[in-house]
Amino acid sequence: MQLVFLVFAGIATVMFVLLLFSILGKDPGSDVRERMEQYLIESEKAAKEEYALPEDALESDEDEENKEGDEEGDWTSELRGKKKKGKHEGAKRILANMGTILTPKGMAAKIADQLAKADIPLKANEFVAIQFLAVMIAMMIGTVIMRSLVLAIILAVVAYFVPLIWVSIVRAKRVQAFNDQILDTLIMIANGLKAGYSFLQALEMVSKESLPPMSKELKRVLKENSLGMNLEDTLVALNNRVESEDWDLVTTVVLIQRQVGGNLAEVLEKIGKTIRERMRIKGDIQTKTAQAKVSGMLVAALPFGLGFMIYILNPGFMSKLFTFKMGWFRGWFLVIGGLIWEAIGMVIIKKIVDIEV
């Protein structure tokens, strides 16, 4: 009980300090936003003095900028200091300040990069704060409800990795959605180039006509290019964000074409045929490996089904797995070990049947 009391006292102290920091401290990035707002105000005054624009003209320009800002992503709106405060701003401020204390400086950029690749609207410090709260709640459940320090540590480890697994799943789904749009995107860009558009104009047309995530990524490419980045650098940045093998081929071809020249429309059409052929081969592989995948799923589900049947026939026999005690050893250790080996076996089977094309 003394250990449980010390754990809760430490958690309460940390929460109290973070709450005071959130109330008395400034929102992370508020200084930058204030400087940007002051810069915009000074620029507007200078424009009025130099060009003597009427007030109604300036107001109409502001209205147009606001309309454009609604279509922009959050990242550009935040750079301009125009990001609107939502009804959850207080909670996000507490998470941001909490994460500022907990996030290591070396990991902040890496976490932010992973969140950007998954298109999750969270900052690195907010994500770390969510992880911290999940771990603390898991430890509280293990120590107070389960009354087991070992189980509390296991739950805390699981709670730490669950947000990371969630980010990986969201990122994989986004990459798959992006890959599904590449073929149509190449056709639209090639048709635009044949119609006389430049490459940037073709990208702008596709960004307006296509759906997310392709439209969002292409709009970001255009925005970065309009802010002064080279088109080659924006395409490389896009390739690093999506991490798609098919789009890596597109990026490589476009960069080479911009250096040596050539008929880009024809090259993109050939790449489209290559991607279409690769998709066909992947479909054949998935068809031929479907039996192995189903067999792996059945083998993985067999222990659970067998354990459930034995529990129905003889509940006392199966309950010993959770009630057996001998010194430090507990019966449920075997359950944890079995689940670990189940996960290892599923990963091995997935590696065997996953053939790269």
Domain assignment of residue 168, yes or no: no
Q: Are 98 and 125 in contact (CB under 8 A)?
A: yes
Domain CATH number, residue 202: 1.20.81.30
Domain assignment of residue 293, yes or no: yes
Q: pLDDT for 6-18, tens place per residue? A: 555 566 555 555 5
Q: Say if residue 132 is in the same domain as residue 185.
A: no
DSSP secondary structure string, 183-251?
Answer: HHHHHHHHHHHHTT--HHHHHHHHHHHS-TTHHHHHHHHHHHHHTT--HHHHHHHHHHHH--HHHHHHH
- Residue 99 belongs to what domain range? 2-107+121-139
Question: What's residue 121's pLDDT?
Answer: 82
Lowest mean pLDDT among 97-106, 190-199, 272-281: 97-106
Question: Distance from first CA to last CA of the chain, Å, rounded?
Answer: 58
Q: Quote the percentage of the chain above a pLDDT of 90.
A: 1
pTM above 0.75, yes or no: no
The strand pair at 325-326 and 329-330 is best described as: antiparallel
Question: What's residue 294's pLDDT?
Answer: 84
Q: Are 172 and 143 in contact (CB under 8 A)?
A: no
Domain assignment of residue 163, yes or no: no
Contacts of 125 (CB under 8 A, 6+ apart): 28, 95, 96, 97, 98, 99, 100, 102, 103, 108
Q: pLDDT for 303-314, tens place per residue? A: 888 888 888 888
Domain assignment of residue 19, yes or no: yes
d(CA 170, CA 340): 24
Q: Say if residue 39 is in the same domain as residue 99.
A: yes
Q: Are 334 and 299 in contact (CB under 8 A)?
A: no
Domain assignment of residue 228, yes or no: yes
Question: Running DSSP on this structure, what letter comes out for residue 85?
Answer: P
Q: Say if residue 133 is in the same domain as residue 7.
A: yes
Mean pLDDT within 196-209: 88
Question: Which residue, chain included where needed, has tokens 């670990």?
Answer: 340
| Residues in a beta bridge with 329 | 326
- Given a cut of 50, whether residue 55 has pLDDT beyond it is no
Question: Running DSSP on this structure, what letter comes out for residue 355?
Answer: -
Q: Domain total for the chain?
A: 3
Reported as a pLDDT band with limits 50, 70 and 90, residue 76 is: very low
Distances (CA, A) of 266 to 183, 191, 269, 270: 14, 10, 5, 6
Q: Say if residue 100 is in the same domain as residue 13.
A: yes
End position of a domain, from candidates 246, 280, 314:
280
Question: What's residue 70's pLDDT?
Answer: 47
**Average confidence score pLDDT of the chain:** 75
Q: pLDDT for 24-40, tens place per residue? A: 445 545 555 555 555 55
d(CA 120, CA 213): 12
Q: Say if residue 228 is in the same domain as residue 322.
A: no
Question: What's residue 285's pLDDT?
Answer: 83
Domain assignment of residue 146, yes or no: no
The alpha carbon of residue 99 and the mean position of all alpha carbons in its chain are separated, in whole angstroms, by 17
